[in-house]
């Protein structure tokens, strides 16, 4: 009986801690997007989440650790969404439709772009942090390259010859995304960014006219 009570109590504590951690991450996302990493204090995150410093330190050792956890959480979600968007055509690949879906995922959240840019600047000065960003970018490229490789194997689509293989095409896709989001952060024109990104990705992944080569 005592063991069962302990197990139930432990389960409640674990669920509560999961909720606390999730709320801290959500609150941190809002605060980091509004003020920028390096301008935020632990107290501000705690206030936004409605928790004490004790709750913070029971989940994270520092603001840096929280920021890294937040980045990984959001980056993994984006990578999964891109993979899902590319998989919706099944074994075939409708390039224009896939471009539409991927563009909607990548430009869905301006706040995420602000946080991601903060992480990029931070990573540029810290090689150990840069590795986290490189891993995320590699995951995005793999998802794109794998999908293009499957389509090419079925004779459905191939990147323009100037890009070389599917890995090079995936690099080009991520580079196009970087360029469009840099402009978006400055002019805040989400719809314009979607149109431009769709045009770039279609040109990169087809003959430029919206049909696979």
pLDDT score at 167: 86
What DSSP designation does 161 have?
G
Cα distances (angstroms) measured from residue 153 to each of 55, 61, 70, 93, 176: 52, 48, 37, 11, 25
Centre a 10 Å sphere on the Cβ of residue 19 and count the other Cβ atoms it contains. 10
Regions of the chain short of the pLDDT cut 50: 2-9, 209-213
How far apart (Å, rounded) are the C-alpha atoms in residues 82 and 142? 11
Token representation of residue 77: 């979600």
Which H or E run includes 115? helix 110-124
pLDDT score at 31: 95
pLDDT score at 3: 47
Note the residue count of the chain.
213
pLDDT score at 93: 65
Tell me the pTM.
0.73
Helix H segments across 125-213?
A: 127-153, 166-187, 190-205
How far apart (Å, rounded) are the C-alpha atoms in residues 204 and 212? 10
């Amino acid at each position: 009986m005592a063991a069962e009570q302990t197990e139930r109590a432990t389960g409640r504590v674990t669920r509560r801690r999961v909720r606390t951690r999730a709320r801290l991450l959500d609150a941190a996302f809002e605060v980091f997007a509004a003020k920028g990493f390096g301008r935020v204090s632990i107290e501000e995150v705690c206030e936004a989440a409605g928790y004490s410093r004790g709750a913070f330190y029971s989940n994270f050792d520092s603001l840096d650790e929280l920021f890294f956890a937040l980045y990984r959480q959001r980056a993994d979600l984006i990578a999964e969404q891109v993979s899902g968007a590319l998989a919706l055509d099944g074994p075939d690949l409708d390039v224009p439709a896939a471009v539409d879906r991927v563009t909607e995922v990548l430009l869905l959240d301006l706040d995420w772009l602000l946080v991601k840019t903060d992480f990029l600047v931070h990573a540029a000065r810290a090689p150990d942090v840069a590795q986290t960003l490189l891993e995320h970018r590699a995951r995005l490229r793999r998802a794109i390259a794998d999908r293009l490789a499957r389509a090419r194997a079925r004779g459905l689509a191939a990147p323009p010859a100037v890009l070389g293989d599917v890995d090079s095409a995936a690099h080009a896709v991520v580079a196009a995304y970087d360029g469009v989001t840099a402009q978006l952060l400055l002019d805040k024109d989400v719809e314009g960014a979607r149109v431009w990104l769709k045009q770039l990705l279609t040109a990169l992944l087809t003959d430029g006219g919206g049909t696979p080569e």
